[in-house]
Every structure is written in structure tokens, then in C-alpha cells.
Amino acid sequence: MFSPQMAGYDRAITIFSPEGELYQVRYAGEAVKRGWATVGLKCSDGVVLAAEKRKLGPLIDLNSIEKVYMIDTHIGAASAGLLSDARILIDYAREQAQVYRLLYDEQADVEYITKRISDLEQAYTQHGGVRPFGIALIIGGVDKNGPRLYQTDPSGIYFGYYATALGSGSTLILEYLEKNYKYEMDINSCIKLTIKSLSLVAESLDADRFEIGVIDAKTKSFRKLTIDELSKLIEEAKNEGLPQRPSA
């Protein structure tokens, strides 16, 4: 029998392979794997979303690169994959959050927003003439059910997570999180755990190379850490001891 590549089962989103696989969706997942490291953690008192920023060149304004986004005052997201695809999904999520407020006069649940994004992603895996979104999102927030953390992928599947990671090096980060994450951690401990886990793969530990968003369960408000806050927490994380990077 032919390989899927030879047989052409991987040339369109509307074609199943004989094993029931959608190869174009799988390939879109490869674009995610090549993205920069991204981490999300559910804490006892909120949610932490973080991403590494790679230095694309000395003349790029790192502040202009966004990998952690506010979706609504109480919901944020972090992405890995094709940045322009991410922007489209984030805009869609923001719009859905506003429409929800208009219709029901209250904030949308985190899962509701996750589901709307995922439904759009699914549609791009079943109808011809398009390609799937080359993006995965970690979506976190605090709603009436408390802190919530979800991850969605190009197929439109989503699950809830305690902690998760995407992008290049995510296997290493996940291993570290599985060993060190604890359900009762508070936001501060989570941020430091995030920094430690990212330090396993990050190009640098400079504060401007991290982007961290936090949603506090009390205020239900998304905000990004300042450079000063980041510097201080990186220092604290260093003092607590960073994990050893694997030798190449």
C-alpha cells in the first residue's frame, strides 16, 4: 500500500486517509510544534498564561510581539503556531465575548469562549477550499466556576487542564510541570514555576523575553506583568533554583 503522502490523502482537508486520519489537520499541528514555548497554569487563586519571546533581530521592538492576549476583562489566551492565524482567532474570541455581554448582560464563561473558538476551528477541518488554522491556544480565565484553563488545537478539540505547554520544547516543559505543579499553588508560586519551566528552553532569562498574563480570582481581571514585576520574579525563581537545562 501507498504511504499517505504518495497516495495524496494529505492534500485536502476533505479527505480521510484509510486509517481515518485527517493529514492536513495533523500538518497544521506541526506549525504549532514549531511555535515558541507557551505555558498555562491553573492556580488556587487564579490563572497564569506565559510565553517566551524569541529575539528575531536586534531592531525588532519586542514589546510589539504579543503571544499573551486579553480576550475579555476576565479571560486571556496564549498562542503557539502561525501568529497571523492566532490574531484572527483572538479577534473572533473578543467579538464573541462582547456579543455575549450584549445579549445576556453578563460575562461569558471561559469554556463558552473556548467552545466558540473550537467550533470555528472545526469548521475549517470539514469544508473544502480552506486550510485549518495553524494554531493552538491556551485559554484561561476566572468565571463563576472559579479559575479555568483550556487548550484548543487545529482540529477544534479542547480539554481542560491544570497545567499545559505548547510549542518547541513543550515536551521538556510538560515533564517538568508534571513533577513540580501542585493544585494548591497560588498565583505567585505559579508564575515562578512558569519561569522555571520556561528557563528549560528559553533563549535568555531577561525580563523582556517573557510575556506573562495573570487573571486573579478575586478581581477577575486580566493583566500583564510589568518588566519590573517580571525582573523581581525571575530573580526570586533564580534564588529558588532553576532546573538544569538538558545538554544538547
Residue selected from 172, 174, 205, 217 as contacting its own copies according to rule CB under 8 A: 174
Smallest separation (angstroms) from its own copies to the CB of 34? 6
Residue selected from 91, 95, 186, 208 as contacting its own copies according to rule CB under 8 A: 91
Q: Print the SS3 string covering 181-205.
A: CCCCCCHHHHHHHHHHHHHCCCCCC
Smallest separation (angstroms) from its own copies to the CB of 7? 6
87 is a contact residue toward its own copies (CB under 8 A) = yes
DSSP state, residue 13: T
The closest of 144, 164, 161 to 74, measured between CA atoms, is 144
38 is a contact residue toward its own copies (CB under 8 A) = no
Q: Give the cell for residue 218.
A: 478575586
Nearer to its own copies, 160 or 240 (CB): 160
Cβ contacts of 139 within 8 Å, gap of 6 or more: 71, 75, 76, 77, 93, 110, 113, 114, 117, 149, 150, 151, 152, 158
68 is a contact residue toward its own copies (CB under 8 A) = no
Strand, coil or helix: what is 89? helix
Nearer to its own copies, 107 or 168 (CB): 168
| Residues of span 175-234 touching its own copies by CB under 8 A | 177-178, 181
Exposed/middle/buried for 46, CB within 10 Å: 0-12, 13-18, 19+? buried
Smallest separation (angstroms) from its own copies to the CB of 143? 14
248 is a contact residue toward its own copies (CB under 8 A) = no
Give the whole-angstrom CA distance, residue 78 versus residue 76: 7
115 is a contact residue toward its own copies (CB under 8 A) = yes
Sheet holding 38-43, edge to edge: 163-166, 38-43, 46-52, 210-216, 221-224
Nearer to its own copies, 64 or 239 (CB): 64
Contact indicator for 220, 148 with CB cutoff of 8 Å: no
Contact indicator for 18, 2 with CB cutoff of 8 Å: no
Nearer to its own copies, 99 or 130 (CB): 130
Residue selected from 47, 51, 113, 121 as contacting its own copies according to rule CB under 8 A: 121
Smallest separation (angstroms) from its own copies to the CB of 126? 6
Q: Give the cell for residue 198.
A: 520556561
Scanning the structure block, which residue is given the C-alpha cell 515536551?
Answer: 171
Smallest separation (angstroms) from its own copies to the CB of 103? 16
Nearer to its own copies, 107 or 125 (CB): 125
Smallest separation (angstroms) from its own copies to the CB of 230? 19
| Residues of span 123-162 touching its own copies by CB under 8 A | 124-134, 149-150, 155-162
Stretch that binds its own copies, among 60-68, 192-200, 204-212, 233-241 (CB under 8 A): 60-68
